[in-house]
Amino acid sequence: MDAAQDAVVKTTVTALPGDGIGPEVMKATMEILAAAGAPIEWEMAEAGAEVFKKGLMTGVTREAMDSIAKNGLALKSPLETPVGFGGKSANVTLRKHFELYANIRPVRELPGVTTPFTGRGIDMVIVRENVEDVYAGIEHMQTTSVAQCLKLMTAPGCERIIRAAFAVAKAEERKKVTCATKANIMKLTEGMMKRVFEKVGPEFPEFAQDHIIIDNCAHQLVIAPEQFDVIVTSNMNGDIISDEAAGLVGGLGIAPSANLGDHVAMFEAVHGSAPQIAGKGLANPTALLSAAIMMLRHISAFEVAEKIEQALFITLAEGKNLTGDLSPRGHGVGTAAFTEQLISNLGRASNLPSRNYQKIELTAWPELTAHIEPGTRELVGIDVFLETDMAAKPLGEALEAIAEDTPFRLSGVSNRGVQVYPPTGGQTFLVDHFDCRFLLKHPIKLDGTSANGQPEISYLVQRIGAKFAWMHIEKLQRFDGKDAFERPQGEG
């Protein structure tokens, strides 16, 4: 090594070779980065199936966690979530442990990768919230036949992903940010993302902005995908449409992603460990390599990132020595030959220019428990969820009798979100899980000067509990004079 090379400051990155084809695509990626002169020092760490087998429920070793925390950067191959043993997904462990809230998925037509959409000019980024929503994994069986999953969305969670989307738009010199939600149905959760988008958006007048309902977004993605530039969306929506969008340009096998947080950035291929081809030297390293290119841009190594990207584009465009997944049957080569071909193309420019990238600058968030105190707060009632096999009418009448000499009145009973008492004439199929809404005859101001409605609630719940099995209670509050709850379908 000469003195000039010696002087290059290298960035240390934790490498997780993972499972299945993971070590093969990691080796290829490292070889290409080394050949291109990427200023990276690797620190190898272990996560995935082998770690689960050792009895570690997280699937990630302590050493790997410490290495990622120290370096703040990781390149990760696919990790298997073993079925039948082990705990939760190691991928989810990593995302949650390091609060990697922004999942960035570029979707761009690649030269030589022919799809029914080739030539449409697809070039977008999907920015998916990565830690909230139903993925918080808070699930409870309410009765033996009714399961519940809490969909938690927060104002700071929405704000930081929306700001991240604008940061991506700025870093990639894009023109439009589209917020995709299901706000028409889930007015409080998905609606929050839309409202925050409308509040934060005006700070970024340089970008066109619009909102689209997520199902129409899925539809538009296949009707006119070229209309999208940056799409920001919640976790579950993003999970689905980012896979859909990847399908437009050649599938998950070639799609990269970045998981960004305030302190750690983790880059990975979108595909899994492909156990069917593992160990055979057949895997295509394009997705992990593209993730590594994103990582190089994250550390502002723009020149070498472009050098590798251009070599990848030209290799794919010329179609020589491609892996089996990108070749006509029987014409594919192995990972090593593809890697060699790509390395031989380093320094050449393709017909598809790289975008003009800058570093994505995320907003730094204070390390405080996020809290917004409303001006006024009132308790207006409670929802009591109970289990019974009674019909709606006798149940409603029994609950009205129970509420009679309490500070509450029964407002209604609903079943899976549809009012069934007082009857509406609807034809609701009933399950043994009823939401019984009791409203206070006189709402109570929650200002810390009274018992905050505690005695009133306890009295009612005690009376209900004497006759029925209840599972949980929700307080019905009003913040700043506005109801902080939704009404069931059919309620007048």
Burial 45-57 (b: 16+ CB within 10 A, else e): bbbbbebbeeebe
Task: Say how far apart CA 125 and CA 108 lie, in whole Å.
Answer: 8
Two structure tokens written together for 369: 């428990």
User: Cβ closer to ligand NAP: 52 or 197?
Assistant: 52
User: Cβ closer to ligand NAP: 18 or 381?
Assistant: 18
Considering only residues 130 through 189, tell me which ones interact with ligand NAP, judged by CB under 6 A: none
| Active-site annotation holds for 421 | no
| Active-site annotation holds for 215 | yes
Q: One of 229, 239, 262, 435 is an active-site residue; which one?
A: 239
Two structure tokens written together for 159: 């704000």
CA neighbours closer than 13 Å in the CB half-sphere of residue 283:
31
User: Cβ closer to ligand NAP: 37 or 247?
Assistant: 247
Considering only residues 89 through 128, tell me which ones interact with ligand NAP, judged by CB under 6 A: 91
Task: Say how far apart CA 236 and CA 407 lie, in whole Å.
Answer: 40
| Active-site annotation holds for 389 | no
Alpha helices by DSSP H, listed for 37-177, are 49-53, 62-71, 90-97, 155-171
Which of 262, 325, 378, 435 binds ligand NAP (CB under 6 A)? It is: 325
Taking CB under 6 A as the rule, which mask of x and - marks residues 244-283 in contact with ligand NAP?
--------xx--------------x--xxxxxxx-----x
Q: One of 19, 76, 101, 182 is an active-site residue; which one?
A: 182
Position 76: which residue type? K
Considering only residues 57 through 86, tell me which ones interact with ligand NAP, judged by CB under 6 A: 78-81
Task: Say how far apart CA 134 and CA 264 lie, in whole Å.
Answer: 23
CA angle 338, 340, 343 (to 5 degrees): 110
Task: Say how far apart CA 161 and CA 211 lie, in whole Å.
Answer: 15
| Active-site annotation holds for 357 | no
Task: Say how far apart CA 221 and CA 218 lie, in whole Å.
Answer: 5
User: Cβ closer to ligand NAP: 109 or 239?
Assistant: 239
Taking CB under 6 A as the rule, which mask of x and - marks residues 7-26 in contact with ligand NAP?
--------------x---x-
Minimum gap (Å) between residue 324 Cβ and ligand NAP? 7
Q: Binding-site residue total for ligand NAP (CB under 6 A)? A: 21
Phi, psi of 484, rounded to the nearest 5 degrees: -105, 40
User: Cβ closer to ligand NAP: 275 or 426?
Assistant: 275
Task: Return residues touching ligand NAP (CB under 6 A).
Answer: 21, 25, 78-81, 91, 252-253, 268, 271-277, 283-284, 287, 325
- Where in the sequence numbering do the catalytic residues fall? 135, 182, 215, 239
